[in-house]
Amino acid sequence: MAEGLRVAVGGATGNVGTEMLRILEQRGFPAAEVIPLASAGSAGRRVPFRGAELAVQDLGGFDFRGTDLLLLSTGAANARETAPRAAAAGCVVIDNSSAFRMDPALPLLVPEVNPAALAGWAARRILPVANCSTIQLVLALKPLHDAAGLKRVVVSTYQSASGGGRRLMQRLLSPHDPVTVDMRALLHEAQLATTAGGDPPLPFNVVPQIDVFLEDGRTREEWKMEAETRKILGLPDLPVSATCVRVPVLVGHAEAVVAELDRPLPEAAARALLDAAPGIVVVDERRPGGYAMPIAVAGTDEVFVSRLREDRAFPHGLAFWVVADNVRKGAALTAVQIAEALLRRGDAFAGRGAA
């Protein structure tokens, strides 16, 4: 192994940043130095890495000169300022926000799906990571498209609280004791909060809104899923219809998908294709519990496909269920996998860290 890289992790105290540090360590990423970065308010905190504790530095004031790689997980507004600044200093930026995903000059890469897109890494030295719900969807769609062509996709999501950050997770982890709580009083309290125009309660509820509404009635999360799926698969005219729902689950996004194909693809053949696809695990037994669920996949790296069956609403239709850990595979792991793919190319870091 040649000289390791100097790697910065932006947003290192958040859900995704914490997971990035864990994954860098677990996968033995060739980093000679890892620098955790966060907001000025978090500077000075310490985070664990490789048996030691690293001091968090201020992201806003950090000088990226001499840094090879920035794994960035902040909001889009921060990313629009930080990513170009780091790239101008010679750093390669892998950004988990939505800031650059639909920039036509930049590739939107999911390594198992469109690895050839990595050739565009040098456009501005910024590589956006797709939306968490999109990543697991395109992993399942890719082998079906390669075999029989995609004609249209309809997807409904069941997205966990972790997708909304730690504050939403805390709202879900209510202090109420489920054994002794007066359910009628709790529900009345939630109804009052909703009527008053506040954020809808998540415990004991499902919320059919993620992100803001657009003029056409979709939410921004739904638009992101539709637009990113087309970009990643290289199918600009593919009809994709998404309905995105927040559910009272801590970690793990689930999706109910119907894909209409151009050509017939028997269920058994689709199952075999998915089972052989990189990053996919098929868990599909027609019995209680014989399917993937968020509670069972938390902390895993794969995308799980279950409930595969022929759909009767569309010609050549397949229906299936897709589940993945949205913090890990849907964000942190995919960012690290992109960095690993850059290492294998050998041109992004001038040979540093390459085998």
Which sequence positions are flagged as catalytic? 132, 253
Rg, C-alpha atoms of the chain = 21
Q: Is 18 annotated as a binding residue?
A: no
CA 311/CA 155 separation, integer angstroms: 13
Q: Is 283 annotated as a binding residue?
A: no
* N- to C-terminal Cα separation, the chain: 5
Tokens of 264: 């017939």
Q: Is 246 annotated as a binding residue?
A: yes
Instruction: Tally Cβ neighbours within 10 Å of residue 258.
Output: 17
Q: Is 346 annotated as a binding residue?
A: no
Q: Which of 237, 244, 179 is nearest to 213 (CA)?
A: 244
Tokens of 7: 């790697």
The H or E element containing residue 185 is helix 183-195
Phi, psi (5° rounding) for residue 261? -105, 160
**Is the CB of residue 10 less than 8 Å from the CB of residue 59?**
yes
Tokens of 271: 């199952």
> How many residues are present in the chain?
355
Residue 118, classed as helix, strand or coil, is helix
Residue written as tokens 């109910």?
256
CA 229/CA 209 separation, integer angstroms: 19
Q: Which of 61, 54, 77, 76 is nearest to 7 (CA)?
A: 54
Phi, psi (5° rounding) for residue 196? -75, -5
Q: Is 230 annotated as a binding residue?
A: no
CA 126/CA 190 separation, integer angstroms: 42
**108 residue type, one letter:** L
Residue 161, classed as helix, strand or coil, is helix
Q: Which of 3, 133, 29 is nearest to 341 (CA)?
A: 29
How far is C-alpha 234 from the geometric centre of its chain's CA atoms? 19
Q: Is 13 annotated as a binding residue?
A: yes
Binding-site sequence positions for NADP(+): 13-16, 162-163, 326
Binding-site sequence positions: 13-16, 101, 159, 162-163, 246, 326
Binding-site sequence positions for phosphate: 101
